[in-house]
Structure 1
Amino acid sequence: MGAGDVIAQQLVERRGLREHQGPRTLKMMAIGFCFVGPVVGSWYKILDRLIPGSSKVVAVKKMVLDQGAFAPCFLGCFLAITGATNGLSVEENWSKIQQDYTDALMTNYCIWPPVQIANFYFVPLKHRLAVVQCVAIVWNCYLSWKANRL
């Protein structure tokens, strides 16, 4: 999350080092450490118990459940948490979520289904979160830019 935020601020927003918002990067790191990592890691364990196995059909089923049920809820929670940590009021946060949610979810669907099918088919459970976080550097850059655009 921290690396994604640094990339967002430096390459996407072109802030430069003088204008880099260190507290924002720290907030994104904290969200990654306290929310994203534990929730996604736990989800993969639950998903493996719900749909055991590693065949191609199982990988597709896991991806459908992951992207159909987990991703929409997770993304909404993520946007709400970032809005709250950015000091938005409940009304402002709700408005920002309504503004950003659909676009973020559609972007999610462009990136994650093929990644997750490969992840669920080829990667052992204990390494899935690490694989996802490698791809997520780009995703986290997008999320940081989206969530912190006020």
Structure 2
Amino acid sequence: MFRAYQSALKRRPVLTQSITTAVLFSTGDGMAQQFIEKKGIKNHEIGRTTRMALYGGCVFGPAATKWFGFLQSKVQFPGKPNLEIVARVAADQCIFASCNLFVFLSSMALMEGKDPREKLNSTYFNALSKNWMVWPVVQFTNFKFVPLEHRVLLVNVVSLGWNCYLSYLNSMPSGAHVPNPTYPPDV
């Protein structure tokens, strides 16, 4: 199976990463609904899972694939590999993560027929601060040890938990983001 995945990555990297991302984004939503929110199969919101798959496959997968390629080719400090990794992590977190979160919350609101400004006002900074607690370490490890063609896959695997959180956060009614000491836990 891994050989088939490797072969697909070589032939059509963006498409392969997009399909993988769609599957893992929808899995993260399924985990949120079933294990965190405990909705049960009868109350599972298929539309919500579909929206997560669409975002993962049509937006995040292609964007992350191109972004990681850009960082690899443009953010270079020859002879200073650790500085190079720190610069890539900083660019990733300051540019890509903040923009991606903005696009994610806005597009989810639009697909749900809600006001994107309201969604952003109620959730963006909370989610971004939690993002910065998790992703810099993940991305440092990713950029240091993982080959370019597998970086989106690593992010997608770690994202199972992150997407579970994002799906939960996105499903909360506006204004319900006020920190609760027990749920959702800080990551």
Report the TM-score range of the alignment, normalised by the length of the smaller protein: over 0.9
| Preserved contact between residue 28 and residue 161 of structure 2 (Cα < 8 Å) | yes
- In the alignment, the residues of structure 2 paired with residue 21 and residue 36 of structure 1 have an alpha-carbon distance, to the nearest angstrom, of 21
Deviation at 1:97, TM superposition (A): 0.7
Q: Which runs of 4+ in 1 moved over 2 A?
A: none
Q: Which amino acid aligns with 2:129?
A: M
TM-score scaled by length of structure 2: 0.75
| Preserved contact between residue 105 and residue 170 of structure 2 (Cα < 8 Å) | yes
Match of 1:27 in 2: 51
Equivalenced residue count is 147
The yes-or-no answer on 1:124 pairing with 2:147 is yes
Can you list the C-alpha shifts for 1:56-107, whole angstroms capped at 9, x where unaligned? 221111001111122111110111011111111xxx2201111100000001
Higher helix proportion: 1
Percent of aligned pairs with the same amino acid: 35
| Preserved contact between residue 82 and residue 148 of structure 1 (Cα < 8 Å) | no
Match of 2:21 in 1: none
- In the alignment, the residues of structure 2 paired with residue 12 and residue 135 of structure 1 have an alpha-carbon distance, to the nearest angstrom, of 17
Q: Which amino acid aligns with 2:122?
A: Q
TM-score scaled by length of structure 1: 0.93
Q: Which runs of 5+ in 1 are unaligned?
A: none
Two-structure CA RMSD over aligned residues (Å) = 1.3
Determine which structure has more spread, i.e. the larger CA radius of gyration: 2
Deviation at 1:26, TM superposition (A): 1.2
Match of 1:141 in 2: 164
Match of 2:88 in 1: 62
The yes-or-no answer on 1:113 pairing with 2:122 is no
